[in-house]
Amino acid sequence: MATGLQLTPKAVEKVKEILAQQTPHPMGLRVAVVGGGCSGFSYQMNFENQTNGIDKTYEFDGLKVFVDQASLMYLSGTRIDFVESLEGSGFKFENPNVKTTCGCGSSFSV
């Protein structure tokens, strides 16, 4: 099983596209797992201007991605993709640690 966090080339391209439109230009992307949602946890993605020094930093084709220590254990082996379909477009998390998800698909339990 893969460890760490993975972003597909399509996800990296989309994040870099959005990042380029931000002023001031952020340092990178923060991916986190936060408490809440109908199943207990949900994913959060934000642009980050600084790292706190204890973050795990990944780099994908020049894109820096930061993950805090608490989120790291929930995101181990997770693959993030960007999908476009008739139902809409967005980032899709494929997380092997997830036991159940809610009906809306935006929250999960481990």
Class of domain 5-104: mainly beta
Look at residue 1 in the predicted model and tell me its pLDDT: 42
Q: Which of 61, 51, 87 is nearest to 6 (CA)?
A: 61
**Interatomic CA distance for residues 39 and 8, integer angstroms:** 26
**Interatomic CA distance for residues 99 and 82, integer angstroms:** 22
The answer to whether the beta carbons of residues 13 and 34 sit under 8 Å apart is no
Look at residue 102 in the predicted model and tell me its pLDDT: 64
Q: Domain ranges for the chain, please list them.
A: 5-104
Residue whose tokens read 């930093």: 57
Per-residue pLDDT of 75-109, as tens digits, reads 999 999 999 988 888 999 998 887 776 655 555 56
**Interatomic CA distance for residues 64 and 16, integer angstroms:** 10
HEC-encoded secondary structure of 39-103: CCEEEEEEEECCCCCCCEEEEECCEEEEECHHHHHHHCCEEEEEEEECCEEEEEEECCCCCEECC
Look at residue 51 in the predicted model and tell me its pLDDT: 82
The mean pLDDT of the chain is 86
Look at residue 50 in the predicted model and tell me its pLDDT: 84
Per-residue pLDDT of 3-53, as tens digits, reads 689 999 999 999 999 999 998 889 999 999 988 766 678 889 999 998 888
pTM of the model: 0.84
